Chains A and B, each alone.
Chain A
Amino acid sequence: MNQEFKKETFRDDYTFFNSPESIRRFPFPFWEDKYMYSVNIEPHTKGPAGSVFEFPIDINEHYVSEMQDRAIVLKEDPLRCQALPHMMLAQWDFLELIMTSMARDYPQWFSLKTEGDHWHWINKPLNIDQKFVFGDVSTLPYEPMEYIGRQCQGDFSIQDQRDGQLWIDAGIITTQADWSLDFDVGMNFMEWHGPVPLAHDMKVFDRALKFLLNLQLDQPVRRLNWTMTINPRLDTSPENYNKWGKDRTTVTPENVGDKVHLRVELQALWRLPRSNAILFSIRGYLIKMRELVTVPKWGRRMHRVLKTLPQELIDYKGITRYRDTTLDWLSKYDDGAPTSQGGGAD
């Protein structure tokens, strides 16, 4: 992609929108006309040119503005970025993975030169030029996870592996769908998924954990997850729920197209080489209903998925108040025609 980075906001006046190109590459998550949990994990391998899967780390037109929004969140609440003391090696692993990926796949924007432990990182879009010693925290302005996390789209958590469990012992989480890093840090896999309905009984987490404990180096995996958000707000944290929660009552038949957003998380998991920890990236994509229905198949399918979604999931995802209004609006875009398998736009 050769696009310029857009100047836009994800709060206050909410000027965010997707270009037509950005809509076409949106990772629409529904591969059939209904939705239920599954362990929908696949190898995180190279996808078609221009798609969000082309590179392991996807940088798009929203990059600079998303990083500015993250800086605001961290300024207001430093607890959104936390690492337990034993995670320092994993932090460096993470920094290395991100810097090498971004420099390799987007050489027009990022460069990394290394001579032994002496590294030189240049980030042109954010105007950063940093020389540092790999492994020496004192040579960076932040700890490694925060340093590179402020320069890469997506939330990140790092899981330590011990006692046959994964422990969420570090993370930089500023665009989350209603979960608190500050509350969950230090928990194991079953504990931090405690509030998720239905899935425990379906043994989804048992199978997912077993799979992840055996995750291999250089064989990352991915899955898509989704929720819905009112306004293109990145910071839908529980910490600020008392500020954004009331937005859910502002949906009207007139503003559905602009206010209601599908929020898709491209989640990827990497084994880290030195620490044996697992990096979890949660790369969020927002699309307005008005943008979504420009792809006829997606308009039809979104209507059908929302119509048949189990009540527990409607409540868990916080859709309850505006589901019916959104369904009415979407029904205009569902002519009952059959849809093809898979999430692609046809």
Chain B
Amino acid sequence: MLIEGIKSRPQYPGLVADPHANHHVFAADGDGAQAIIDLFNRHGAQIKGRVTIVYAETDANSADYTTRLKQLPVEFVHALPTIVTAIRRLQGVLNVARMGTRIYAAGTETLIGLAVQLSQELGMDPQAVLTEHRGTLARRVQCVHCKGFTENVKTNIVKCAHCGTNLLVRDHYSKRLAAFQGVCVDAEIPGELPEIVEVFK
């Protein structure tokens, strides 16, 4: 299964500070908090103006991360229980954002994908979002048949959380949907499934 080199998959080059922004909005989940802390350790002097962090506490050690994020020179840390609630909060933050705002996203591909998708929907260039991948490679998958999303997919084959179809997780990624494509794996001979293995860890 292709992990590297998927042409439709975004690259995550890592966070760098934008010295020209006057408001820095960070979205992160799980170990993505460490990417923010690392950035401040590296380039803290270049981060001027307001700093807002929206953090999804999705891991066992997330509460500790929240404490450490609050120790950074930030205006406010929004700590939310899930990625979905964090993205909703990010939308609230960005709805009132002004010129000079820079968005950063760090953590799982799902968190980054949804933050980039939101930025795009708000009229920003998705490539202007600075990104760094940390944590799991678990995928967000859209069923091509019922169009439902299945979250946190770690295996090559997954049952659609909505219509129950056995989906092969393709290496084809849509930024607009922030999801990989899932296609019925046993359409030709129903019930005949390849071995199910954990490939996205």
Can you identify 27 A-B contacts, CB atoms within 8 angstroms?
Answer: A79-B147, A180-B144, A183-B142, A183-B174, A185-B176, A186-B174, A186-B175, A187-B8, A187-B176, A190-B7, A191-B173, A191-B175, A194-B8, A194-B9, A194-B171, A194-B173, A200-B7, A238-B144, A238-B181, A239-B144, A239-B145, A240-B145, A241-B144, A241-B187, A242-B187, A245-B187, A248-B188
Tell me the number of A-to-B contacts counted with CB atoms below 8 Å. 68
A171 to chain B, nearest CB (A): 13
Residue among B172, B175, B190 making CB contact with A246, cutoff 8 Å: B190
A321 within 8 A of B: yes
A143 within 8 A of B: no
B183 within 8 A of A: yes
A193/B7 in contact, CB under 8 A:
yes
With a cutoff of 8 Å between Cβ atoms, the chain B residues found around residue A195 in the complex are: 8, 170-172
Chain B interface size band reads: 20 to 34
With a cutoff of 8 Å between Cβ atoms, the chain B residues found around residue A183 in the complex are: 142, 144, 172, 174, 177, 181
A182 within 8 A of B: yes
Find residues 132-177 in chain B having any chain A CB closer than 8 Å to their own CB. Answer: 142, 144-145, 147, 165, 170-177
The 4 A-B pairs at the shortest CB distance, nearest first, are namely: A245-B187, A194-B8, A194-B7, A191-B8
B189 within 8 A of A: yes
B128 within 8 A of A: no
A332 to chain B, nearest CB (A): 27
A192 within 8 A of B: yes
A146 within 8 A of B: no
With a cutoff of 8 Å between Cβ atoms, the chain B residues found around residue A185 in the complex are: 176
B193 within 8 A of A: no
Residue interface mask A222-246, B partner, CB < 8 A = 1: 0000000000000000111111111
Residue of A with least CB distance to B127: A163
CA A193 – CA B171 in complex, angstroms? Answer: 12
A184 within 8 A of B: yes
CA A195 – CA B171 in complex, angstroms? Answer: 7
With a cutoff of 8 Å between Cβ atoms, the chain A residues found around residue B93 in the complex are: none
Residue of B with least CB distance to A180: B144
With a cutoff of 8 Å between Cβ atoms, the chain A residues found around residue B181 in the complex are: 180, 183, 238
CA A240 – CA B165 in complex, angstroms? Answer: 12
B111 within 8 A of A: no
CA A244 – CA B183 in complex, angstroms? Answer: 13
B106 within 8 A of A: no
With a cutoff of 8 Å between Cβ atoms, the chain A residues found around residue B7 in the complex are: 190-191, 193-194, 200
CA A28 – CA B145 in complex, angstroms? Answer: 32
With a cutoff of 8 Å between Cβ atoms, the chain B residues found around residue A182 in the complex are: 144, 147
B142/A245 in contact, CB under 8 A:
no
17 further A-B pairs in the complex, CB-CB below 8 A; given A191-B175, A194-B6:
A182-B147, A183-B174, A186-B174, A187-B176, A191-B173, A193-B7, A194-B8, A194-B173, A238-B181, A238-B183, A240-B145, A241-B183, A241-B187, A243-B187, A245-B188, A246-B188, A248-B188
With a cutoff of 8 Å between Cβ atoms, the chain A residues found around residue B35 in the complex are: none
Q: What is the number of residues of chain A that contact chain B, defined by CB distance less than 8 Å? A: 27
Q: DSSP majority for the A interface?
A: helix
Residue of A with least CB distance to B163: A242
A325 to chain B, nearest CB (A): 14
CA A79 – CA B142 in complex, angstroms? Answer: 15
Residue interface mask B69-104, A partner, CB < 8 A = 1: 000000000000000000000000000000000000
B184 within 8 A of A: yes
- Residue of A194, A195, A238, A245 with most partner-chain B CB within 10 A: A194
B106 to chain A, nearest CB (A): 23
With a cutoff of 8 Å between Cβ atoms, the chain B residues found around residue A79 in the complex are: 147
A63 to chain B, nearest CB (A): 29
A40 within 8 A of B: no
Residue interface mask B1-30, A partner, CB < 8 A = 1: 000001111000000000000000000000
A206 to chain B, nearest CB (A): 11
Residue among B6, B174, B188 making CB contact with A184, cutoff 8 Å: B174
Residue interface mask A293-325, B partner, CB < 8 A = 1: 000000000000000000000000000010000
- Residue of B8, B165, B190 with most partner-chain A CB within 10 A: B8
CA A193 – CA B147 in complex, angstroms? Answer: 21
Find residues 181-233 in chain A having any chain B CB closer than 8 Å to their own CB. Answer: 182-187, 190-195, 200
With a cutoff of 8 Å between Cβ atoms, the chain A residues found around residue B173 in the complex are: 191, 194
